[in-house]
Amino acid sequence: MFKFFSIIIGITLCSSVWCQNKLGGIGSWREHYNNQSVQQVAIATGAGSTIGSTIGATIGTRTNNTSAKWLIAATPYQIALVDSKNEIDLIGKSNGLHDMGIAFTAWDSEQSQIIIAYQNSNIDIVQGDQVFSINDLLLSSLYGNKKINDIFILHNWAFVSTNFGIVVIDLTKHEIKDTWFPNNNRQNTITYQVSCTATDLIAVTENGIWTCPLKNNWITNAWQNIASYNNLGIQKITQYNNQVWVYNAANIYTYPSTTATFNMSLGVINVCKASKEGVFMACRWGAKGALLQLNSDKSTATIIDSNTLSNPKDFCWDGNNIWIADSLRGLYLKNNSAQTASSQWVSLRGPVFNIKGEISSQASVIIAAYGNGNNAGMGWTQYSDKGWSSFSMNKGALIPTLNYSAIDPLDKTYWFTFQNGIWHTNYEASAAESLTPLNMKGPYTDLQFDKEGVLWVLVDQQGLLQKKDNIWKNIQPPTNISLSGAQKIVVNQQGQIWIIAPNNQGIIVYNSINNTWNQLSTLNNNLPSSAVTSIVEDKKGTMWVGTNNGIGLFDCSELNNCKAYLPQIKNSNGFAGLLFQKEIVNTIAVDGANQKWVGTNNGCWLLSEDGTQILQRFSKNNSPLPNDSIIQINIEPLSGEVFINTNNQLVSYRSSASETIATSYSITIFPNPIAPHYEGPIAMKGFVNNAIIKITTLDGKLVYQTRALGGQAIWNGKTYEGNKVATGIYLVFARDEEGYEKSVGKIIISSGGQ
């Protein structure tokens, strides 16, 4: 058994990758990451036109691109590939990478591949349309601290500097070749960085600088200590044309001299690089940074000043272009051409902050408040078919920290709450206003529209605000009910405002029809727990209540004696248990087919309409979820795309259900036409609920029949017998529950000859 295990962990795993930027087919994922923290940049050069086609094949889009240079920009979550036109494609966990938390990357020009090391010591190699996983170090228990500090490429080898030594990777076989300890006693030693000259490999370690000879491109692994550097605290190295510079946070030394060539009296040297143009430094002091050039007289010239940069972590050259990786502001491009000198920040898509506030959706638009959580920021963000747009300023003034969001169903304007009031914006008209209705002091927490377009706002210690026919009204609870500390409301179809009671007191419900208040508890109303964490209303008017001990369902018109129903579900052993018992249910969402999406601290779950079946379960181990702690799920109704916000970042999943429409006149079919070798699902959306869908040949022969799930139907391109249909044109017919049938679309199965 031991021998078999040893073989298994040495096997290199491989998987295909594809483009992630556009909405994909059923079952596909997209990442919506805040990529403002750019850590590394490098120019991919070396194999001429094959570089562009190699990387293009990796992301599945620009396979005919013959650009000889690409910029590789690394964030903690994704790799951005930027071409000569500044067009961007992203590689992440949703399209092939095996992990998150990117620590270091390196470009191998001889094999045209990207080496990616993660913070957990896992390693990926991206080559062509494949990703090779080298997880030996991740799985190994030989070393206590396996932190990866740097990657250095030399011909067919990658030298990975770690906190125990140097891991040598064979870049042609995609496997670990050896482990070296840069000392003479083979003891673990922190190795910060490796470089080389024509004659020596040089390792910067916690015990000083060590070298070993290079003979005919073969390393002897016989180490010699350069004792003169032992007490100088050197942690980094750079070289150009066999001249070496070593440095720490304050001083740069021209090797082998131990007299500082440059001293940083104020601030920190993040990185130093030597090139044919000279020696350059990316530095920072406080919240400011700069790119400096070291002159021969030990003075410096400013290339990019602190008015632009905040914390530059890396930089590289591409002709007249200088690319800067700034961990606080993103990717910066400075062009020094005499004819076209320019500078710009290059967006890597996604929100500019992590989303910690409430996400809302309507039609094909998603909006979100950034919220006041860790790594969140001021303002709000919007997602549409044009991508992400972020807003932190209005007429030169900062937008406050917004927390909850809602879209007016009547005029489509956006509403947000913040500490002292309401932020209302008409995005299309570029207008915004800050409101404090009835001069009521905050903090303002949640807000939501009812089906009539009436706005309801929860104000801490002040009760509810109602905006109806442009008239504001304050509704306060009776003295025996306290809303102090309440954060979340849900307005249902019956005109009831369900409020998560503060301090683990269950649920408070205000009925706007008869102006009554009720409090639901574990004792009187069978709640699974008094610690309520989430509430949602489903398509049939049932209230689903999530707690720290599972889910309860309320389906009563009168709440005084209403008891929650606790769904039961069979586990893997066949025994029935209460739904999510002993789980904290952070969020619940309802899709177009009335199925329930549930987020817990252990991932995301898709349940059947009645909650008795688990249809799918996603975790960080079996999906691109960046984290298993799900804080919110929101479903974009038209496409059925499920946006899943975690404690880390935001991703989305293309589900098989979407919202229905009143009358089925036109549908969208994706993909269409169908490539001859396509094996995935064919999605048709735009149907009325539960419509019968028929696929026929042009002469009317029935090929397949199914029902719409919500407003969407799925066909696998096969007949009832499971045979793949022939190339040609197929008709789509839809019939509603009243028996009305109509031809609504065509599906083209391509022969591949066009």
pLDDT digit string (tens) for 428-460?
878 899 999 999 988 999 999 998 899 999 999
What residues does each domain of the chain span?
Answer: 1-144, 276-350, 668-749
What does the pLDDT average to over 327-356?
Answer: 88
pLDDT digit string (tens) for 608-629?
999 999 999 999 999 999 999 9
| 3-class DSSP state of 362 | strand
pLDDT digit string (tens) for 631-679?
999 999 888 899 999 998 999 999 888 776 655 557 888 888 888 788 8
> Measured between alpha carbons, how far is 595 from 661 in angstroms, rounded to an integer?
17
Query: Dihedral of CA 248/251/254/255: which sign?
Result: negative
Q: Is the separation of the CB atoms in 735 and 692 below 8 Å?
A: yes
pLDDT digit string (tens) for 105-144?
999 999 999 999 999 999 999 998 899 999 999 999 999 9
> Measured between alpha carbons, how far is 683 from 695 in angstroms, rounded to an integer?
13
What single DSSP character describes residue 152?
E
> In the chain, what percentage of residues exceed pLDDT 90?
64
pLDDT at 2 exceeding the cut of 70: no
When pLDDT is cut at 50, 70 and 90, the band that residue 47 belongs to is very low
- So what's the pLDDT on residue 620? 93
What is the separation of C-alpha 308 from the centre of its chain, rounded to a whole number of angstroms?
26
What does the pLDDT average to over 168-194?
Answer: 94
pLDDT digit string (tens) for 680-704?
899 988 888 778 899 998 888 899 9
> Measured between alpha carbons, how far is 171 from 721 in angstroms, rounded to an integer?
47
Beta-carbon count within 10 A of 622 CB: 10
Query: Dihedral of CA 522/527/530/535: which sign?
Result: negative
- So what's the pLDDT on residue 665? 56
Task: Give the helix ranges, DSSP H, for 361-402.
Answer: none
- So what's the pLDDT on residue 575? 58
When pLDDT is cut at 50, 70 and 90, the band that residue 4 belongs to is very low
| 3-class DSSP state of 211 | strand
Q: DSSP characters for 627-663?
A: -S-EEEEEE-TTT-EEEEEESS-EEEEE-S-B---SS
What is the separation of C-alpha 243 from the centre of its chain, rounded to a whole number of angstroms?
41
Closest CA to 267 of 292, 250, 247: 250
> Measured between alpha carbons, how far is 256 from 253 in angstroms, rounded to an integer?
8
pLDDT digit string (tens) for 454-479?
999 999 989 999 999 999 999 999 99
> Measured between alpha carbons, how far is 521 from 507 in angstroms, rounded to an integer?
7
- Per-residue CA distances from 286 to 266, 290, 310, 570 (Å): 10, 11, 8, 56
> Measured between alpha carbons, how far is 44 from 53 in angstroms, rounded to an integer?
12
| 3-class DSSP state of 227 | helix
Q: Which stretch of 20-34, 395-409, 459-473, 631-645 has the lowest confidence by average pLDDT?
A: 20-34
Q: Is the separation of the CB atoms in 276 and 240 below 8 Å?
A: yes
- So what's the pLDDT on residue 218? 66
pLDDT digit string (tens) for 289-300?
999 999 988 889
> Measured between alpha carbons, how far is 160 from 149 in angstroms, rounded to an integer?
8
Mean pLDDT (the chain) is 87
- Sequence length of the chain is 754
pLDDT at 63 exceeding the cut of 70: no
Q: Cis link prior to 256 (omega < 30° from 0)?
A: yes
When pLDDT is cut at 50, 70 and 90, the band that residue 739 belongs to is low
pLDDT digit string (tens) for 240-274?
999 999 999 999 999 999 999 999 988 999 999 99
pLDDT at 77 exceeding the cut of 80: yes
> Whole-model pTM above 0.85?
no
668-749 carries CATH number 2.60.40.4070: yes
- Per-residue CA distances from 385 to 21, 363, 382, 405, 634 (Å): 11, 11, 10, 20, 16
Residue type, 128: G
Pick 560 or 67 by higher pLDDT. Answer: 560
When pLDDT is cut at 50, 70 and 90, the band that residue 18 belongs to is very low
Q: Is the separation of the CB atoms in 660 and 687 below 8 Å?
A: yes
- So what's the pLDDT on residue 364? 83
> Measured between alpha carbons, how far is 508 from 564 in angstroms, rounded to an integer?
14
Pick 47 or 526 by higher pLDDT. Answer: 526
- So what's the pLDDT on residue 5? 24
Burial class (CB in 10 A: 0-12, 13-18, 19+), 553: middle
| 3-class DSSP state of 612 | coil
Closest CA to 380 of 396, 399, 395, 397: 399
Q: What share of the chain is helix, strand, coil (3-state, %, to 5)?
A: 5, 50, 45
Interacting residues of 315 by C-beta distance below 8 A, sequence separation 6+: 41, 271, 273, 280, 282, 291, 322, 323, 324, 325
Closest CA to 379 of 434, 459, 441: 434
